[in-house]
Amino acid sequence: MEDEEERFRAKIDPWSHEVRPHGSSSTGRPLKSWTSAAVFASFVVIILCGSAVSWLDIFIFPGVSLSQMIPAKRGHRELPQKMEFPLNCTNSSTMPQTCPANYPKKHEPKESYTVACPEYFRWIHEDLRPWKSTGITREMMERTKHIAHFRLVIANGNAYIEHYKRPFQTRDVGTIWGILQLLRLYPGKVPDLELMFYCNDRPVIMKSHYQGPNAALPPPLFHYCRDETSLDILFPDWSFWGWHEVNIRTWANTYQAIKKKAKEIEWKDRMPYAYWKGNPDVSPKRQDLMTCNATDEYDWNARLYVQNWAAESSHGYKESRLEDQCIHRYKIFVEGQAWSVSDKYILACDSTTLMIEPVYHDFFLRGMIPVEHYWPIRLNNKCRDIKFAVEWGNNHIKEAQAIGESGSRFMEENLKMKYVYDYMLHLLVEYAKLLKFKPEVPAGATKYCAEGMACPVSGLFRTNMEDSMVKSPSDSLPCTLPPPYDPRELQDFMERKRNNTRLLEMWEAEYWNNLNKKH
């Protein structure tokens, strides 16, 4: 199979492929629900009648937000030269690094129009719902002090950190860096607050501990992922600002690199298999997936490779570049211990993502819809599901490609860094509204600033910080937060996901039935 891939790579001449213009729209809205209903109706028609009617047209229409149609952007020459505040390292043997005091404390953007945030922002309200009617007391928050990795205090636009534990690698550092950039992007907009942050893999605030008539309210704890059984409050993980330990650059950079490569080779010209590369040892789910690898006896249409991080690290990560992994029509996503930061890289490829139904989700994944943005694969039936997905896709190229593109468009439009910051901002604003105590800087806390973090470090760690450093306040307003789901809407949303998945399962059952009849 390596040969197969080698040969295939050799065939690709990066310059001979036309560069496809890619979704230039920048609307922050995912597909509307009616779109998906229509897609489904036509999907059913196609599968039942074998009709060649293309439903692609309906499928690819994203909702256009009103604000987008208002040509409110002024000419560039009217704008005064933008003040930038780059990293200013002054550390020397005679003078220690200080936090520059010249960054603006407030900024009113010139643009007065605003766009609606992507739909997945509505989950901010869901995450905070447990405290909606009661608010959050200091006692509630302090209850997680023994599990949290750090406490964040925002006071007068400055960030203070009280460290409790060291997490794996530099997860806390990356997260704090991201928060500092938020403060730089929106000076004066992040309210005073105190919160506890947890950096390990698995969610920790279990719903089951806080149910029943006399149950205590759960403590609010910020974290990167949760599942159906937990109440952790979701916050973007460190990888958006890079993950230098495994040679991953900032999300903005990685996204650009992936996009560039993905444009070099069209979907239909990619290898017609499902690809995965990673470390299978982190979870049984991944180890299990390895049984779907093609053997001499049977081909499940999967091409699976083990990532040996140690070997990669000593060979300059040449074999693990994310942007070089867009040469298959299908890419498999499988979570690790909990959520996996790889979701966004896999989804960005313009390949069709075969997603082994995740148990855990990060802040945006729960807003994505099976069949619309990715092809769901059941954990307990994965080899057969992968086999079917690839066969179906290779026989329905337009439709399979459209799913891939729709997933990638979600990354491009809904997960740009502006929205990652907007999500953080809205979450913190809504959270701060719930606080029933006055935030205070504890004696053991340290004031953080970009210079204090970046100046002492070097290598990719430093590069990632410089690349992701916000050099001036945002000239556009944050997007507007959509309202909470009412219970009915939320139910419908979840049902829509289940319906989509169920439909695929029906087709697949039919597929295997027919196959068995033939033999």
* Cα–Cα distance for residue pair 253/449, rounded to 1 Å: 23
290 binds ligand NAG (CB under 6 A): yes
The distance of Cα 88 from the centroid of its chain, to the nearest Å, equals 31
Least Å from the CB of residue 86 to ligand NAG: 7
Backbone φ and ψ for 293, nearest 5 degrees, come out as -60, 145
Tokens of 472: 């001036």
Contact 223, 232 (CB under 8 A): yes
In the bound state with ligand NAG, the residue whose beta carbon lies nearer, of 154 and 302, is: 302
State the minimum distance, in angstroms, from the CB of residue 91 to ligand NAG: 4
CB atoms within 10 A of CB 40: 17
* Phi, then psi, of 409 in degrees rounded to 5: -65, -35
* Binder among 96, 135, 316, 442 for ligand NAG (CB under 6 A): 96
Terminal CA-CA length for the chain:
27
DSSP E strands in 113-183: the ranges are 150-155, 158-163
Q: What is the CA radius of gyration of the chain?
A: 24
State in angstroms the smallest separation of the CB of 292 from ligand NAG.
9
**Number of residues located near ligand NAG, criterion CB under 6 A:** 21
If one asks whether residue 111 binds ligand NAG (CB under 6 A), the answer comes out as no
Scanning 92-100, 127-135, 397-405, 462-470 for contacts with ligand NAG by CB under 6 A, the matching segment is 92-100
- Cα separation, 113 vs 479, in Å, equals 9
* Least distance CB 475 / ligand NAG (angstroms): 20
> Which candidate, 416, 421, 464, 415, places its Cα nearest to that of 185?
421
Decide whether 58 or 294 has the Cβ nearer to ligand NAG: 294
- Choose, by CB under 6 A, the member of 281, 489, 495, 510 that binds ligand NAG: 495
Contacts of ligand NAG in 298-327 (CB under 6 A): 304-306
> Helices 487-518 and 33-49, interaxial angle, to 10°?
20
Figure out which of the listed residues 68, 88, 256, 501 binds ligand NAG, where binding follows CB under 6 A. 88
User: Considering the complex, what minimum distance in angstroms separates the CB of residue 281 from ligand NAG?
Assistant: 11
**199, 161 contact by CB (below 8 A):** no
User: Is residue 490 a contact residue for ligand NAG (CB under 6 A)?
Assistant: no
Stretch that binds ligand NAG, among 164-172, 235-243, 290-298, 324-332 (CB under 6 A): 290-298
The stretch among 49-57, 202-210, 222-230, 494-502 that binds ligand NAG (CB under 6 A) is 494-502
CB of 425 to ligand NAG, least distance (A): 26
Q: What's the Cα-to-Cα distance from 447 to each of 149, 166, 188, 315, rounded to whole Å?
A: 16, 18, 17, 38
Nearer to ligand NAG, 362 or 508 (CB): 508
**Of 244-283, which residues contact ligand NAG (CB under 6 A)?**
none
Nearer to ligand NAG, 24 or 93 (CB): 93
DSSP tag of 143: T
Q: Which two tokens stand for residue 300?
A: 């499940």
Cβ proximity to ligand NAG, 34 vs 113, nearer residue: 34
For residue 303, the cross-strand partners are 275
Quickly count helices (H) and strands (E) in the chain.
17, 11
Name the site residues for ligand NAG (rule: CB under 6 A).
1-2, 88, 90-91, 96-97, 100, 290, 293-294, 304-306, 452, 455-456, 492, 495-496, 499
